[in-house]
Amino acid sequence: MSETRTILIADDEPNIRRVLQALFSKNGFVVLTAENGKRAIEIASNNPVDVLISDLIMPDMTGVEVLRAVKAQQPHCAAILITAYGTIKTAVEAMRLGAYNYITKPFDLNELHTMVKQAMEAQKELVAEVKTPRSSRRSPAKFHALIGNSEKMKELLHTIERAADSRATVLVRGESGVGKELVARALHALSARSSKPFVAISCAALPETLLESELFGHEKSAFTGASTQKPGRFEMAHTGTLFLDEIAEIPPSLQVKLLRVLQEREFERLGGTKSIKVDVRLVAATNKDLEKAVAEGEFRQDLYYRLQVIQIYVPALRERREDIPLLVNHFLEKYCRENERAITEVSAEAMGLLTSYSFPGNVRELENAIESAVVLADRNARTLTPDLLPMNIQRHAAGATA
């Protein structure tokens, strides 16, 4: 890590404090621990804290009370709450008060470590936003790593800026790997909802029964294994933005329920009868031909029209090749920092290969190629050379000159 970060762990269980202290100390953090909420607040008043990890239920006060007190002292501190299933509803409320996220017991240490890294990235963006003069905060260069100076990118960023403050549903279209989620995050960051939750889910990542539960939540005993009530992503995103990736994969039975949420701003949990009202700005994304899916009866026409009130097309990388050098330098700096490498330039031959390659995997493929090159480079290397690039890029160049 390029700079030391401090984590404050507040939990009345000694074993949890010990395990988390060992985990984060090993990963280069300064770790402070508190056995109760009062002690956590005292520590935060005397030490800078980047991330607060607090149990939701402690003998002297709740994690929400600790969150309020620490945030009052250090507004940019990112907070993650540890909760049992019975207190998930309270944890969701805490997110609306400024918590970055919550994790349920028993939790996976790798998942918590990833969550902390994400919280720190979000915190870094927030601090940068506050330090940026208000007149320049909407600069296209600040649009969540959407990098490029090409005319197509300028048009994209201008569209995002115009659409950001609207409540209208947005359909983001483009090939896989172009950065559709980055567009959704930029829409959220530039909107009046920017301080509220941004919640994302891939509609293709879960089977139908689990997807319905993830989106709308479920009541206790709604299905086998549903031992507690669980809020869904719509509830978690209340007053914020919900991003539904790969929307074309949502099954027909859920399309009806999603349409009702968009029309009525309310829904019922799986197994429930009580209507829950939500205020959510929906952004959906797809790399599929939705018009064809509608014509073939695989996607509801009324839902399609509801989703595409505003359409944003994200160009493929081959449509904006002039942006490749900017992206290469961005990823080079990022992965050199993460892997402690000293590469400062790209050879003309290597850059020629990169700018001539078609990149069917788009920006994601380019990023993977640069990360691979950096990792494989000699620790003392200063220049990224063609031999470090993936073989498919090298073979493409060889075939083009044959």
Q: What is the pLDDT of residues 84-123, one digit of tens each?
A: 755 556 666 666 667 777 787 888 898 898 888 877 876 6
Q: SS3 of 285, please?
A: strand
The phi and psi torsions of 50 (rounded to 5 degrees) equal -85, -40
Residue 155, classed as helix, strand or coil, is helix
Which residue among 313, 337, 372 closes a domain? Answer: 313
Q: Are residues 302 and 332 in the same domain?
A: no
- Whether the pLDDT of residue 135 is over 50: the answer is no
Please determine, for residue 142, whether its predicted confidence score (pLDDT) is greater than 60: no
Instruction: Note whether residue 328 is domain-resident.
Output: yes
Tell which phi-psi region holds residue 219, choosing left (phi > 0), alpha (psi between -120 and 50) or beta.
beta
3-class state of residue 313 by DSSP: strand
- The CATH number for 382's domain is 1.10.8.60
- Do 140 and 279 reside in the same domain of the chain? yes
**Burial degree of 340 (CB within 10 A; 0-12, 13-18, 19+):** exposed
Q: Is 178 helix (H, G, I), strand (E, B) or coil?
A: coil
Own/partner pairs, 90-93, CB within 8 angstroms, 24+ separation: 90/56, 90/62, 90/64, 91/56, 92/231, 92/235, 92/236, 93/64
Residues 54 and 145 in one domain: no
Same domain, 67 and 157: no
For the stretch 47-89, pLDDT in tens is 889 999 999 889 889 888 898 899 888 877 888 988 875 555 6
CA distance 198 to 178: 20
Sign of CA dihedral 187, 190, 196, 198: positive
Q: Read off the tokens for 2.
A: 């390029």
Instruction: Give the pLDDT score at 388.
Output: 95
The percent of residues in the chain predicted with pLDDT above 90, rounded, is: 50
pLDDT, mean of residues 238-259: 93
Last residue of a domain, one of 86, 103, 131: 131
Task: State residue 139's pLDDT score.
Answer: 47
Q: Which of 110, 15, 96 is nearest to 55 (CA)?
A: 15
| Domain final position from 288, 313, 338 | 313
Q: Would you state the pLDDT for residue 27?
A: 87
- The predicted structure's pLDDT at residue 124: 65
In a domain, 1, yes or no: no
Confidence of residue 4 (pLDDT cuts 50, 70, 90): low
pLDDT grade for 272, boundaries at 50, 70 and 90: confident
Q: Which residue has the tokens 């404090």?
A: 17
Intra-chain end-to-end CA distance of the chain, in Å: 44
Domain total of the chain: 3
Rounded Cα–Cα distance for residues 18 and 8 (Å) = 12
User: What is the residue type of 155?
Assistant: E
Indicate whether 50 and 161 sit together in one domain.
Answer: no
Q: Are 82 and 107 in contact (CB under 8 A)?
A: yes
Can the peptide bond before residue 251 be classed as cis, meaning omega within 30 degrees of 0? no
Six token digits for residue 267: 């829904």
Closest Cα partner for 401 from 353, 341, 355? 353
Please classify residue 101 by burial: count the beta carbons closer than 10 Å to its beta carbon, then call 0-12 exposed, 13-18 middle and 19+ buried: buried
Q: What is the pLDDT of residue 91?
A: 61
State the residue range of the domain holding 397. Answer: 319-401
Q: Which of the four pLDDT bands, split at 50, 70 and 90, describes residue 125?
A: low
106 located within any domain: yes
